[in-house]
């Protein structure tokens, strides 16, 4: 499962790294040693870490029910200690690190997305491990990613990773919450993420951190659609990665899709989506045959978006069929949905774009 993977993203939950608002340095030391072993076998590693707010809030007067401003302040305090611990412990193991802080804006803007990707690739080329966190110090609710599971999946998309490892307080994927259901069934292999699996995640919520099984499934789906496998495993014990290598308990989301390239990975990232197009069954069939999306196949538009924005494409049963870049703003798109080319020309004249979403700017989910 790890042996044949080259580029690996490891996400570390705050509940693993932090105890009583302090960093578990002994645990982090064993992680560093595990990563040394991975790198000796030729692996490229990026770490997505939580913990800054948990560390920083011990310096605030209010320590519970933090407001957004207090969370930002806690992050500003905690991020320094968090990165210092990583630098100190990893340096003892001859590992070089670099800090990367991201918000959703670094993905929704194509230029920023490419800049972030190039930074990651340059760090990898220079044998530096990127330590990634959300930039909570400046992120407002509108531009927050909200959980580091999906942040890690976004990094997978950016760098075309082979494997995403989500380490947390749970040892894998269950059909319901094992903490309150003794008959919860452990699922070790998932090769298709459908409604049945999504419903299981809704019943398997972890109560620790900002994530939970729902966000882990969303992350797995993001990675899955980009051709990257995902592992969910417990990281509570020391040497969590080594235990995983040795066959420790875990759930594997095995992607059956080919790895997609940079532009397609950016398109498929639903964090970027500004709106939705609801399409009829004929349009669904056409898209699956590698056709562009024509206005005649669209029955409804949701949200507000501009030309060039990412949009979700769903069928009339609310199934996510594809994601693409719109050739029209939502205002203009509403004028032409359900219409053929000749009718559209009557509205906008001869110089029109026949496709609402061109096939080159579209990814089937």
Q: Model confidence over 191-230: pLDDT tens digits?
A: 988 888 888 887 554 433 444 788 899 899 889 888 899 9
pLDDT digits (tens, 9 = 90+) for 305-361: 999 888 999 999 999 999 999 999 999 999 999 998 889 888 888 778 889 999 999
* The CATH classification of domain 272-364, taken from the options 3.30.930.10, 2.40.10.480, 3.40.50.800, 2.30.130.10: 2.30.130.10
Residues 156 and 98 sit within 8 Å (Cβ to Cβ):
no
- CATH annotation of 7-264: 3.40.1160.10
> Beta-strand (E) ranges in the chain?
7-12, 18-19, 22-23, 44-49, 96-102, 128-134, 163-168, 173-174, 186-187, 189-190, 229-234, 251-253, 273-279, 298-303, 310-315, 320-325, 362-364
Count the neighbouring beta carbons within 10 Å of the beta carbon of residue 17: 25
pTM for the full predicted model: 0.83
pLDDT digits (tens, 9 = 90+) for 226-255: 889 999 999 999 999 999 999 999 999 999
Q: Percentage helix, strand, coil, to 5, in the chain?
A: 40, 20, 35
Residues 222 and 269 sit within 8 Å (Cβ to Cβ):
yes
pLDDT score, position 276: 95
pLDDT score, position 280: 96
pLDDT score, position 139: 55
pLDDT score, position 322: 93
Instruction: Say how many Å lie between the first and final Cα of the chain, rounded.
Output: 24
Q: What are the sequence ranges of the domains in the chain?
A: 7-264, 272-364
Least confident of 58-62, 125-129, 199-203, 308-312: 199-203
User: How far does Cα 153 stand from its chain's mean position?
Assistant: 3
| CA distances in angstroms from 36 to 24, 96, 127, 349, listed in the order given | 19, 11, 12, 63
């Amino acid at each position: 499962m790890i042996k044949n993977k080259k580029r690996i993203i490891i996400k570390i939950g705050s509940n693993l790294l932090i105890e009583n608002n302090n960093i578990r340095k002994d645990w982090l030391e064993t992680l560093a040693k595990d990563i040394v072993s991975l790198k000796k076998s030729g692996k490229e590693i990026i770490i997505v870490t939580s913990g800054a707010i948990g560390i920083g809030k011990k310096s605030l007067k209010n320590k519970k029910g933090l407001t957004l401003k207090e969370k930002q302040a806690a992050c500003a305090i905690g991020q320094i200690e968090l990165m210092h611990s990583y630098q100190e412990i990893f340096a003892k193991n001859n590992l070089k690190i670099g800090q990367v802080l991201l918000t959703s804006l670094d993905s929704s803007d194509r230029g920023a997305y490419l800049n972030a990707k190039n930074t990651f690739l340059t760090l990898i080329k220079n044998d530096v491990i990127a330590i990634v966190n959300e930039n909570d110090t400046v992120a407002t609710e509108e531009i927050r990613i909200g959980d580091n599971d999906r942040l890690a999946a976004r990094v997978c998309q950016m760098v075309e990773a082979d494997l995403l490892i989500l380490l947390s307080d749970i040892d894998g994927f269950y059909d319901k919450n094992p903490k309150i259901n003794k008959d919860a069934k452990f699922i070790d292999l998932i090769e298709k993420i459908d409604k049945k699996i999504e419903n299981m995640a809704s019943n398997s919520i972890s109560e620790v951190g900002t994530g939970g099984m729902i966000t882990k499934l969303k992350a797995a789906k993001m990675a899955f659609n980009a051709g990257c496998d995902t592992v969910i495993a417990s990281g509570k014990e020391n040497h969590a990665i080594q235990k995983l290598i040795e066959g420790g308990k875990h759930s594997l989301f095995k992607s059956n899709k080919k790895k997609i390239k940079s532009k397609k990975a950016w398109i498929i990232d639903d964090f970027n989506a500004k709106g939705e197009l609801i399409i009829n069954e004929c349009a669904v069939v056409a898209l699956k045959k590698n056709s562009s999306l024509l206005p005649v196949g669209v029955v409804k538009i949701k949200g507000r978006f501009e030309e060039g924005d990412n949009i979700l494409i769903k069928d009339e049963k609310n199934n996510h069929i594809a994601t693409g870049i719109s050739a029209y703003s939502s205002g203009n798109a509403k004028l032409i949905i359900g219409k053929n080319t000749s009718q559209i020309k009557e509205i906008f004249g001869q110089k029109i774009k026949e496709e609402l979403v061109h096939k080159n700017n579209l990814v089937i989910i």
